[in-house]
A = this chain, B = another copy of it.
């Protein structure tokens, strides 16, 4: 009996595993996202999970509390885990600009870490899928990123999503015309951003504390039009005295035209003046994607223009715009929508119930695989044919191959279709020849 002390098999608080069913679905999601990113001409890079703390925080000691720091090493130059992929991209660009195609359209899929208090449904590690264009200040780059978001979500099989688009230029213009103190503008944006979650009354209370013309803000946020161009005409009338806002409205009009040309349907996006996005680094267009059937889950992706971030590291001119998919929230949303289909992981199981036939069964497995069939040799503890058959049923195999000493003598095997309860015998060589033309499952339907 095993009496030695066991280590508790437990996850770190706030971290999670993805079991085989979830991980298989997520794997397909990543593949689909990669395919669209590449179709749009984005190229991959990989940066490490660990960076110099100063790179991540920009020297902001407050920010250090939100990241995981590495213990005990490099006390003079401490290390930490990245909390997003955007700041490391800015570091990478500053370091390698002369070697990169320019504009530099890169994508990256990787883990990020945030030192949040563990709470239900909120994790400290998650995967981000980011695509960014660095080195272009053109409004068409903004439109390309929104079109990319549209195509990415379409390819994922999500039908009812809405891309809510705004620009920081309009928000800054509103704050300026409403005479909020310049130092309070980040707070004004943060308050406005909560409209969707908390409603106007809560936003109003917060804005009133910040000391500006709350009525102007309300007028802007009240603009609701089905036609996005009309919404822009209305907001232009309210904000024509602000140069920043006027610039922003010009941008959004151009974006509206380009989105139409790029094939983004009018129903998939709208102008929404309450969208601000959390990160401080945004300077222009901002957007987020919400799923209309699961609004409570919040945004499942978003992005925007951040023209100054690379300047944290370098004086090069590197205006940038990007987009990030929140795959964890998205997965949760897809679960709630019931659009997750679990994947058949293996088509065929080759039973293995007579030790003297094991090499023969191994030959069959190898033959099936070389014909492209995902096939497994039974490797469990059941020794009887009956026990191994139950295992095949329990684990949802389509096809079971039975090859004992009789079949071995004849150079043959039994192919059993579990769903149709049909079975036929076929010679080992013929099976492989035929399977390369059709699927094993089709063949079993045909030959019963």
- Which A positions have Cβ atoms within 8 angstroms of B? 2, 6-13, 15-20, 22-24, 26-27, 31, 34, 38-41, 43-52, 54-55, 58-59, 68-74, 77-79, 81, 90-92, 94-96, 99-103, 105-106, 111, 113, 115, 124-125, 133, 135-136, 138, 140-141, 143-144, 147, 151, 257-258, 260-263, 311-315, 345-346, 352, 358-360, 362-363, 365-366, 369-370, 372, 374-377, 379-381, 395
The reply to whether B6 and A315 form a contact with Cβ atoms under 8 Å apart is yes
Q: Which of B12, B34, B96, B395 contacts A50 (CB 8 A)?
A: B12
The reply to whether A125 and B49 form a contact with Cβ atoms under 8 Å apart is yes
Closest residue of chain B to A108, judged by CB? B23
A125 and B44 contact, Cβ closer than 8 Å, known pairs A111-B111, A362-B140, A374-B38: no
User: Which secondary structure characterizes the binding site on chain A?
Assistant: mixed
Looking at A50, A115, A372, which has the most chain B CB atoms within 10 Å of its CB?
A50
Closest residue of chain B to A348, judged by CB? B41
Q: Which of B17, B59, B257 contacts A7 (CB 8 A)?
A: B59
State A175–B69 Cα separation when bound (angstroms): 44
**Number of copies of this chain in the oligomer?**
2
The reply to whether B51 and A369 form a contact with Cβ atoms under 8 Å apart is no
The reply to whether A314 and B12 form a contact with Cβ atoms under 8 Å apart is no
State A73–B9 Cα separation when bound (angstroms): 20
A148 CB to closest chain B CB (Å) equals 10
State A105–B74 Cα separation when bound (angstroms): 40
Looking at A81, A90, A100, A135, which has the most chain B CB atoms within 10 Å of its CB?
A81
The reply to whether B9 and A27 form a contact with Cβ atoms under 8 Å apart is no
State A46–B262 Cα separation when bound (angstroms): 36
The reply to whether B6 and A39 form a contact with Cβ atoms under 8 Å apart is no
- Additional 5 contacts, C-beta under 8 A, given A143-B362, A261-B359: A20-B106, A50-B81, A68-B73, A71-B78, A261-B366
